[in-house]
Amino acid sequence: QSALTQPASVSGSPGQSITISCTGTSSDVGSYHLVSWYQQHPGKAPKVMIYEVSKWPSGVSNRFSGSKSGNTASLTISGLQAEDEADYYCCSYAGPSTLGVFGGGTKLTVL
């Protein structure tokens, strides 16, 4: 199973919005409404921010939103804040009897 494709880095200024893309195939992202997004600060464990493409876990800000079109999922962060600076990973279900597949990660810099 190949990793999903994410841009290596994105940046934005405080208050702006940014979008991170996550491209898979018809075997993973394209076939299932089961994409999740994780935020990871340096030296910390990942934290789920979005699941099932666009749902928020309890306690996650609604400044984070997710969507999907075809084989590409997207994470949008609106009203950027300094604390949003982190690495972001997408992950997709890839079928029964398989493990999920992660994207390579995107480093978000808040300018």
Partner 1 sequence: EVQLVESGGGLVQPGGSLRLSCAASGFTFTNYWMSWVRQAPGKGLEWVANIKEDGSEKYYVDSVKGRFTISRDNAKNSLYLQMNRLRAEDTAVYYCARWHVWGSYLDYWGQGTLVTGSS
Size of the chain in residues: 111
Stretch that binds partner 1, among 16-24, 63-71, 77-85, 93-101 (CB under 8 A): 93-101
Stretch that binds partner 1, among 10-18, 19-27, 47-55, 74-82 (CB under 8 A): 47-55
**Contact string (CB under 8 A) for partner 1, positions 8-37, x = contact:** ------------------------x-x-x-
Residue 105 near partner 1 by CB under 8 A:
yes
Residues 76, 66 contacting (CB under 8 angstroms): yes
Q: In angstroms, rounded to a whole number, what is the distance separating the alpha carbons of residues 46 and 35?
A: 15
Residue 52 near partner 1 by CB under 8 A:
yes
Residues in contact with 62: Cβ distance below 8 Å, sequence separation at least 6, in sequence order: 56
Q: In angstroms, rounded to a whole number, what is the distance separating the alpha carbons of residues 3 and 69?
A: 18
Residue 109 near partner 1 by CB under 8 A:
no
